[in-house]
Amino acid sequence: MASGSKPVVIDSRDGKHTATIIFLHGLGDTGHGWADSLSAIQPSYCKLICPTAPVQPVTLNAGMIMPSWFDLMTLTHDGPEDGEGILKASASIMKIIEEEQSKHNIPSNRILLGGFSQGGALSLHTGLRYSQPLAGILALSCWLPLHKEYPNAFVQGNKEVPILQCHGDSDPLVPKMWGNITADILKEMLKTTEFKVYRNMGHTSCNEEMRDAAEFIKKCLPPV
């Protein structure tokens, strides 16, 4: 598997870096795909990191090579999953989280993890299994990978982590049913999780969702 290109990094605008947002793109995209939208709602004291996934064959797309955090094998919720690939991808994101702590003195509870579609799935997987509590998880149009491993796989130190899960009711790629199932699992484990559904939204984003995301970020990462 080829390694991903360097992440898109947008530094804090006021020079006071006290928090970090890490956002993971969807299948076939790059870190540039979401950088502009997120920089528009990025608080001035936050650094934004948008990594790009490694390039690899994707079974679901007839083996086509593209940026992908892990292999996708089926569109069915209970189909086979790339457990090894998910683990490897999660480890790479945890490394970014740990570098923010060790190199920039940003504590884990000042780091917000998020993503769209496959990237949102990876953000949920990583955040729920990370050894330290994060500021929050922003999960857009996605699902919880390896969902049958919960609640045993859940790291209890993360039970306070707030999650905003968003989904379109007209999503043809990641059906809202997947979002419903994920939301039910999360509510069983977490104290603060919210599932917002947007009318007539497909597998994309909308202005209302971005406004909700901005409010969630500010709530999870207030100025210090």
- Residues serving a catalytic function are 117, 171, 203
Euclidean distance between the first and final Cα of the chain, in Å? 40
Name beta bridge partners: 194.
164
SS3 209: helix
Cβ neighbours of 67 (radius 10 Å): 22
SS3 95: helix
Separation between Cα atoms, residue 84 and residue 67, nearest integer Å = 17
In the chain the beta strands, taken as DSSP E runs, fall at 8-10, 19-24, 46-50, 55-58, 64-67, 111-116, 136-140, 163-168, 193-198
